[in-house]
Amino acid sequence: MSETGYQQKRIFNELYNDLESIGGTILVVLDEIDNIGSDDDILYELPRARSQLDLDVKIGVVGISNDFKFRENLSPKVKDTLCEEEILFPPYDANELQNILKQRADIALYDDVLESDVIPLCAAFSAQDSGSARQALRLLRKAADIAENNAMAGGEAKVTEEHVREAEHQIQRQQVVEGMHSLTRQGQYVLLTVCQLAAEGETPERTKLIYERYQEVLRNHGSEPLKRRRVHDHLSDLSLHGILQLVDSSSGRGNYNEYELDVSLSSALDALESELGELDDIRETAKRHRILE
């Protein structure tokens, strides 16, 4: 194989030969189709292949995505080619997630290893967030790992509610840590600013007021603040990484953006402390406002 890869035309020819050798009606399923990016030629070529190349096969395309706006980013030629029909699957609710978790737990775990409130709690955490079965399963698996490690250290060989809550905290903390890998020190200060506001019970907060507090944070750290536009970019990056949540709000003066943490305050502070040092003052503020226990 060439170091630069095969030409696109050759790839499509190989694909068409394989599809025609199968024959009949073939559905090509593209999971997470929104990751296809700007190079969406495959969505243009596949629906047209039978008529353009006289293939003896009927080809259908099924795209799966969590991004409802994905189609807006498709090229005009793809939009014109696709005769798409949208089927919307709502997020799983807590009862549906419990059924999924029970089925997996029956296969993966020993009998009677789960306390009765473990699966309902895992399902509730996921249902409140994204309704994702993957998220709920990840949480259950993490809780089981924590319980197993505790059992090896002499603890009880059962998965409990405490293990689920600890798993949720660890997963959220890791999410923040991974998101912070792409942040500059200024980006960390922006997150610190939102954490301060969250500890005071002042979130979601408008971008303008976040910027005013950010300037104060930078003065206290002896650093020069960025322009408001750059702070807005950092807020957007934190939202894309799932650390902050963008809230669309409106008033008599029109629409505006607000931001709040999309992870727990304690998880965000744990991750920040590894970069900025102790943040006991924010924790104490949160306790006074009953944000943290």
pLDDT tens-digit map of 28-79? 999 988 888 778 888 888 888 888 888 888 999 999 988 777 888 888 888 8
Residue type, 115: E
- Tell which of 54, 83, 112 closes a domain: 83
Q: 3-class DSSP state for residue 24?
A: strand
Number of domains in the chain: 3
Cβ neighbours of residue 91 closer than 8 Å, sequence gap 6 or more: 127, 130, 131, 132
User: Cα(146)–Cα(163) distance, rounded to whole angstroms?
Assistant: 6
- pTM of this prediction exceeds 0.85: no
- Tell which of 60, 83, 106 closes a domain: 83
User: What does the pLDDT read at residue 3?
Assistant: 59
Edge to edge, what strands does the sheet with 205-206 contain?
205-206, 254-261, 244-251
Same domain, 167 and 191: no
Structure tokens at 16: 């068409």
Q: Which of the residues in the chain have pLDDT under 50?
A: 1
- Tell which of 175, 208, 242 closes a domain: 175
Number of Cβ within 10 Å of residue 75's Cβ equals 14
